Chains A and B, each alone.
Chain A
Amino acid sequence: MNETIRAILRKLANLPVAVEDLTDDADLYAAGLSSFASVQVMLGIEESFDIEFPDNLLNRKSFASIQAIEATVRQIVKANEAA
C-alpha cells in the first residue's frame, strides 16, 4: 500500500521534492502539497483502492503524511469489509 500511495503522490502531488526523499511521517503540506493537488491525490487514491472518502475524513489531518494516508485508507477498507 505504501508503494501505491507513493506512486500516486509521484504522479499527482506535484511536489517540488522527490517522493523517495520523503519519510512516511513527513508533513506533505510543508513539502509543498497544495490544496488543489491534495484533491487530485484523494481522487487517485479513491480510484486506485476503489474506495470513497467519507466527509468526516476529508480534512487536512487525513492527508498530512504518507503514514496518515495509509491509516485513513486502512480505516475505510476495514469499515467497508465490516459493512
Chain B
Amino acid sequence: MSVVALASETPSLIDRAQRVAAIAARHADEVDREGRFPYEAVAAMKTEALLGIQVPPSHGGEGASLLDIANICATLGQACAASAMVFAMHHIKASSLVEHGEESAWHSGFMRDTVKHQYLLASATTEGGIGGNLRNSICAIEIDGPICRLTKDATVISYATEADAILITSRANKDAAPGDQVMTAFLRHQYTLEKTNDWDTLGMRGTCSEGFLFKGEAPAEQIFPKPFAEIAAQSMLATSHLLWSGVWYGIAADAVARAQSFVRAAARKAQGQVPPGASHLAEAVNLLQLVKSNLLTGLKTYEDARANPDKLSSMAFAIAMNNVKIASSETILEIIHRALMVCGILGYKNGTPYSLGRHLRDAHSARLMISNDRILGNTATMLLVQKPDLSLLG
C-alpha cells in the first residue's frame, strides 16, 4: 500500500488545518514572547472541528488516520509550534481514548462528547519523585464504591487550565507496584488545580506546561478498563513520537521556506549569480527530505501494526518508533542551523521575514521531551535481545 493511500479522502481536513494555521501564524510571535496559551489558534481548531476528527464515524467523528493528523501537525508546525504541539498532545490523548475506550460505555460516551463539544484533552503522566519515567507512579487512585479519588503532584500538565478534561495516570490501587498503573479521565468540573511550577522556558513557550497539585473525584467508571502499561505500549508511545515528529517537521519546513525565500531574493538582486548561502539551503532541503521519509515510514509502520496488539507491543516496533523520534528531533536542529547560515544576520534578528530565533528555540525542546538519552538507553537495552531490522522492505 502506498503511504499516500493511507490518508482519508477528505480534502477538507487540510483546508481546515490551513485556516487554523493562518490564524496561528498571526499570533505566533506574541504567543512566544509573552509565553501565553495560543487561544486564537485553539479556538479556531474548535471552530473547524479538528479536535474530534480521530474519533470513528460510529461515535460521531471522522475516523481520521494518524497520517491525516500528523499532516495537520506539520501544517500547524509551520505556523506556530506551540499551537501545533497543543494539537498533537490533544490527539495523543484522543488516540488512547479511541484505541482503548470503545469497550467501556462511559468512554464511548466521552468520545462522542469530545466530538460534540470539541473538548480539549490534557495529559498528566509526570509526577514529582518518579525521575521522568512515566511508566511509574507514586500516587494511587482510591476507589470508594462507585467513586474514585486521586491526588497527584503533577510536575507538568501542559495547558491544564485551558483543558476540558485531563487524562491522568496513577497506581491502580494503594497496594499496587509503581508500574501497575491505570489512566483515568477527569472532566473539568471534577478536579481542582493548585499551581506549583511556572513555565518560563527557552522555547515552546505557549504550551504552558506548568506544574499543579491535582485533586479529583469522579465516578469510578471513568478509569480506563485497560492497564496503562498496554495503553502506553499500544497507542501512546507510537502516537507521541509520530505526532511530535510531525510538529518538528513543520518547524524545520518553515525554516527551510524562509531560507529559500532569502536565497531567491538574493539571487534576483545578484542577477543570475548563485548566492553564497545557497549550498547550505541545498543541504537543509536534503536533511528535510530525510526527516520526512523517516516520519512517513514510521507512520506506515504504525498503520501496518495497528490492528495487531502483539506487533504494537513488540520490541521491534518500539525501536522503530524510538528511532523516528531520535532522528527527527536531532535532525531538525541541523536543518535550522543551516537555514540560519543562509539567512545570516536577518535570520538571527527578530522581526524580519527571515527570523529563525523562535524556530531554533522551539526546536530545542524536541531532544528533551522524553530525553533522547533515556530513549537511546531504552533502545540499547532492547538491542541486547532484539535483532535490528536489516532488510530494506521489511
Contact = CB atoms under 8 A, between A and B. Distances in A.
Interface of A: 15-17, 29-36, 39, 42-43, 46, 53, 55-56, 58-61
A62 B386 CA distance: 14
B177 A42 contact: no
B314 interface: yes
Nearest to B385: A42
A60 B385 CA distance: 14
Contacts, number: 61
Nearest to B311: A59
A55 B313 CA distance: 12
Nearest to A17: B177
27 contacts: A17-B177, A29-B179, A29-B180, A32-B177, A32-B178, A32-B180, A34-B135, A35-B378, A35-B381, A36-B378, A39-B381, A43-B384, A43-B385, A46-B385, A55-B314, A55-B316, A58-B314, A58-B315, A58-B316, A58-B386, A59-B310, A59-B311, A59-B315, A60-B230, A60-B233, A60-B313, A61-B313
B227 A30 contact: yes
Interface string B303-328: 00000001101111000000000000
A35 B316 contact: no
B316 to A, nearest CB: 6
Interface string B148-173: 00000000000000000000000010
Interface residues of B, number: 24
A55 B383 CA distance: 11
Contact of A58 (B177, B227, B385): B385
A50 to B, nearest CB: 15
B176 interface: yes
A32 B386 contact: no
B269 interface: no
A43 B315 CA distance: 14
Contacts of A29: 179-180, 227, 229
Given A16-B177, A59-B310, A59-B314, 17 more contacts: A17-B177, A29-B179, A29-B180, A29-B227, A31-B177, A32-B177, A34-B135, A34-B179, A35-B378, A35-B381, A39-B384, A43-B385, A55-B316, A55-B386, A55-B387, A56-B314, A60-B229
